[in-house]
Structure 1
């Protein structure tokens, strides 16, 4: 069970004195002793059974407590005050008609701060009240400073976590970690990775017929579905450009099955894309192209970071997409060789690829 927050006195120069004594004459005598002190606020309570509620409401900086009260011992009262969060640290000066060493020792063990034989000398009483009250004020100030520091640390941690989440939304986890560790330049060559491009067929014409809200909503649903597939298959999303989606496997952490991961994701993308189109009663199609080979990867930008890929492999993967067919996965011979017999293919034969000449390509059909 969570306890309600405790209301403690705020740091102030005011000395708030609560006297608990069943004798009215003692209360009046102490009131007169403190009357000349403009920075002291006095409260008197004669009944032990309401003293704790009075203390919580009055918020004293010093408690003067009689050792002998009807129905409760002074020791028990001290223990109860120390057990209540609102008065746990408030100085308690016990007043008694006699000075008994054993009783004083027991009181100090129970949490009493001081002991005076009543009625004490006025000068001594005021001095002791000031010493204990000032000490309590310093404790409150220290606690307030610690609380502010702790809150600042919590806020800082939240901001750091927020920044890290934002960074992970735009960069691979390994790359984000390296940036956090102070690495300013990140550029790497990978001997073999598998790059995929995805494009929505007829999107430009379609975008002219629908309003912005529906267009963005559809793209968000499609790309969010693709992102989920990327997480499932361990594929790294690189970016979206308009209605195009780019992803890669095998970087920034090398893996031997990068081609299989991208192929499995591509098959899932075809299926999930059809589901989105059916749910929205649309007839758009998607075209996917995949190629495997060496790539260069790195982070560019000073204020807005981008993790990107470069090289002939990227260009060829883009060509596989643009030379492909709607609702089909077009792959190069290099990717076909890596996939071996784990998937089913349709031989497309040789095609002419812009800037590359004649290439033998395939359509990925599914898993074996």
Structure 2
């Protein structure tokens, strides 16, 4: 077997088509089998007629500068479109320069690159969707539990129940809500509650409290947990005053009028996530029970609190004695009424 035959077999094995072109008239004077398979037998014919899609100035640039040209063309010898990488270089000869044309089928490479690009695009899209879903889940969980509790839950998968010895709780309940809900379209009722509770959430956030939950028309928020707050009593009192002020201003411009009773409680409480499949962060303990019981004894538009909170509130609020009241589960308690002190620092806040 001759050297030329061996070289031909090697070129065919690696998928390279080779042609030799006379520079003077662009006529093919040699082409191997791979080249013939792709472009047809055309020895003596012009190069441009075979390599359709080749840049017009490609050959002229090689002849003028001697630099190698590299590009791609697409052909369709049968039913399938092939991508051919074309390289043209100058091989000087004594009488007439020759051009060496090397062609390689890179269709599979381009298909793989396209698949990789498509896969990368899909991965990026799925990653963005997962990030958006993660953000939605995080916002949802932050609506039902404090951030510190959420961080613990995210890190460890569980939340350890915590006892907070000194917290204050505000509990609001609307007057005659059952009758209102019975005679009003449910969509209107839910819309009204959504507007009001959204405003309450802004007030609670303003004073560093944490909304724990809403139960129908009842609204419960706490100060002093999960982060300790020395002025937790005044924080919930400010929230209560602003709740009533907001309702009064809202009633002036809305068709439906809302009146509320508010109870304050202070003492110990336990906070933890309750449930396995449906997570709910809840608060239990004496402070919560006290606020829940005391709101019943508040007149509409008023705030009832235990006398034990009087010392913490007297500098910033108007305090009046209600008297001794027998409270279920708590016994006889001295209660006070808490109202805004129009000459105090609390009057400058919005709502």
Q: TM-score range by the shorter chain?
A: 0.7 to 0.9
Shift of 1:342: 2.7
Could you say what the CA RMSD is over the residues aligned between the two structures, in angstroms? 3.5
SS for the counterpart of 1:266 is helix
Distance 1:118 1:201, change over 3 A: same
Distance 1:77 1:335, change over 3 A: farther
1:205 aligned residue: 179
2:91 aligned residue: 98
Unaligned runs of 5+ in 1: 1-14, 16-21, 49-64, 80-89, 101-116
- Residue in structure 2 matching 1:118, options 99, 108, 120: 99
1:304 aligned residue: 278
- CA–CA separation in structure 2 for the residues paired with 1:150 and 1:46: 36
1:34 aligned residue: 38
Distance 1:321 1:47, change over 3 A: same
1:238 aligned residue: 212
SS for the counterpart of 1:181 is helix
Task: Give the conservation status (yes or no) of the 8 Å contact 1:349–1:362.
Answer: yes
- Residue in structure 2 matching 1:170, options 144, 157, 161: 144
- CA–CA separation in structure 2 for the residues paired with 1:327 and 1:309: 25
- CA–CA separation in structure 1 for the residues paired with 2:66 and 2:337: 90
Aligned: 1:129 with 2:129: no
- Normalising by the residue count of structure 2, what TM-score does the alignment of the two structures yield? 0.73
Shift of 1:118: 2.7
Unaligned runs of 5+ in 2: 1-14, 16-22, 42-49, 72-82, 345-351
Aligned: 1:264 with 2:238: yes
Once the two structures are superposed, the pairs formed by residues 214-233 of structure 1 within 5 Å of their partners are 214-233=188-207
SS for the counterpart of 1:191 is strand
- Normalising by the residue count of structure 1, what TM-score does the alignment of the two structures yield? 0.70
- CA–CA separation in structure 2 for the residues paired with 1:187 and 1:246: 19
- Residue in structure 1 matching 2:160, options 186, 191, 195: 186
Task: Give the conservation status (yes or no) of the 8 Å contact 1:67–1:94.
Answer: no
Task: Give the conservation status (yes or no) of the 8 Å contact 1:291–1:331.
Answer: yes
Task: Give the conservation status (yes or no) of the 8 Å contact 1:68–1:96.
Answer: no
Shift of 1:230: 1.3
Shift of 1:24: 9.9
Equivalent residue pairs, number: 296
- CA–CA separation in structure 2 for the residues paired with 1:139 and 1:187: 54
SS for the counterpart of 1:256 is coil
1:280 aligned residue: 254
Shift of 1:347: 1.8
Aligned: 1:315 with 2:289: yes
Question: In terms of Rg, which structure is larger?
Answer: 2
- CA–CA separation in structure 2 for the residues paired with 1:322 and 1:24: 106
